[in-house]
Amino acid sequence: MKTSHKVLSIALFLFLLSGAGMWAYYDYLPWVGTHFVHAGRDLPDHWTLELKVQEGRQLRGGTAQMSDVPVPETEAALKGQLFLQGQKAGHEWLQQVKVQQIESVQYSWEHKANKDLLEARWEVRSGQRGGLQKLSVHPEHGSLWLRQEICAAWLGTLWPLFRAQGVHAGQTWTALIPFQIDAKELKSPLACQWESTWSFRGMAPEAAVPLAILDLRAAARSNQGQVEGDLRAEVLYSVIDQRVVASRGSYMVSLIGESKVSGVQLLDRVQAQFQLLRQVDKKKDP
Residue 83 has pLDDT above 90, yes or no: yes
Question: For position 25, what pLDDT does the model report?
Answer: 43
Residue 28 has pLDDT above 50, yes or no: no
Q: Is 194 within 8 Å of 223 (Cβ atoms)?
A: no
Mean pLDDT, the chain, as a whole number? 88
Question: For position 6, what pLDDT does the model report?
Answer: 61
Q: Which of 210, 228, 212, 209 is nearest to 220 (CA)?
A: 228
Each residue of 238-285: pLDDT tens digit? Answer: 999 999 999 999 999 999 999 999 999 999 999 999 999 999 865 544
First-to-final CA distance of the chain: 79
Each residue of 199-226: pLDDT tens digit? Answer: 999 999 988 899 999 999 999 999 987 9
Q: Is 202 within 8 Å of 213 (Cβ atoms)?
A: yes
Q: Coil, helix or strand for 166?
A: coil
Average pLDDT over residues 58-63: 92
Question: For position 3, what pLDDT does the model report?
Answer: 58
Q: Enter the pTM of the model.
A: 0.86
Between CA 279 and CA 276 the distance in angstroms is 10
Single-letter amino acid, residue 76: A
Q: By percentage, how much of the chain surpasses pLDDT 90? A: 76
Question: For position 286, what pLDDT does the model report?
Answer: 47
Question: For position 8, what pLDDT does the model report?
Answer: 58
Question: For position 116, what pLDDT does the model report?
Answer: 82
Q: Which residues, at least 6 apart from 215, have a Cβ–Cβ distance to it below 8 Å? A: 198, 199, 201, 233, 234, 235
Residue 19 has pLDDT above 70, yes or no: no
Weakest mean pLDDT among 5-9, 117-121, 202-206, 228-232: 5-9
Q: Which residues, at least 6 apart from 230, have a Cβ–Cβ distance to it below 8 Å? A: 218, 219, 220, 251, 252
Residue 24 has pLDDT above 50, yes or no: no
The total of other beta-carbon atoms located within 10 Å of residue 286's CB is 8
Each residue of 133-145: pLDDT tens digit? Answer: 999 999 877 789 9
Q: Is 176 within 8 Å of 193 (Cβ atoms)?
A: yes
Sketch out the chain's domains with CATH numbers: 33-279 (2.30.230)
Of the pLDDT bands very low, low, confident and very high (cuts 50, 70, 90), residue 10 is: low
Element (H, E) at 8: helix 2-24
